[in-house]
Amino acid sequence: MKKVLIICGTGVATSTVVAAKVREHLEAEGIGASVVQGKVMDLVGGEVDADLIVATTEVPAAVTVPVIRALPLLTGIGQEATLDEIARALS
């Protein structure tokens, strides 16, 4: 099963909103994935146990896992395109 890491500054506020939207979309698309939340400080060492990162903040350059920017999931502008991009990245 694929693992999606939702990252924000503290791992609580915006990542909760984004994680709910990502889970709902992946379920609707029939894509099995584990969606977990974390904070940007979890990424500082560059070691990431995930197939994809969806981030509301900047991700350290040392991270080699693909990153999708989550701002559209907070603003609603471009939300469907971003959700589709996440689904494609996991397929």
Q: What is the pLDDT of residue 46?
A: 73
DSSP for 8-64, please give it.
ESSSSHHHHHHHHHHHHHHHHTT--EEEEEEEGGGGTTS----SEEEESS---TT--
Residue carrying the six token digits 């694929």: 2
Domain count, the chain: 1
Q: What CATH number should be reported for the domain holding residue 29? A: 3.40.50.2300
Q: What pLDDT is stored for residue 69 in this prediction?
A: 97
Q: How far apart are CA 85 and CA 39, in angstroms?
A: 22
**Which residue has 């099963």 as its token pair?**
1
pTM higher than 0.85: yes
Domain holding 21, by residue range, is 2-90
37-91, pLDDT tens digit by residue? 999 998 988 789 999 999 999 999 999 999 999 999 999 999 999 999 999 999 8
Over the stretch 6-45, which tens digit does the pLDDT of each residue have? Answer: 999 887 889 999 999 999 999 999 999 999 999 999 898 8
Out of 4, 7, 8, 43, the active site residue is: 8
Has 8 been annotated as catalytic? yes
